[in-house]
Amino acid sequence: MAASARRIFIGTHAKFGMTAFVRFADVHEFEALVTGTEVPAHRTARYARLGPRVIRA
């Protein structure tokens, strides 16, 4: 993350709301999150409040 020019997460709806043993970054460290429209708007709004722009495509 520190060496990247842009910090953009691209993932399917299955990646949102998951808990994992390993984490490489916090949500607020990304400038944008890109996912599908399967993620409900109320959930993406919660991520947007943490800082990144959320794009549902």
- pLDDT at res. 14: 87
pLDDT of residue 45: 94
Residue 3 lies in a domain: no
Task: Give the pLDDT confidence of 11-57 residue by residue, as tens digits.
Answer: 999 888 778 888 888 999 999 999 999 999 999 999 999 999 999 99
| Helix/strand/coil (H/E/C) assignment for every residue in 1-57 | CCCCCCCEEECCHHHCCCCCCCCCCCHHHCCEEEECCCCCHHHHHHHHCCCCEEEEC
What is residue 21's predicted lDDT score, i.e. its pLDDT? 87
pLDDT tier at 6, thresholds 50, 70, 90: very high
Q: What domain range is 13 assigned to?
A: 8-56
Q: What is the pLDDT of residue 1?
A: 80
In a domain, 24, yes or no: yes
Number of domains forming the structure of the chain: 1
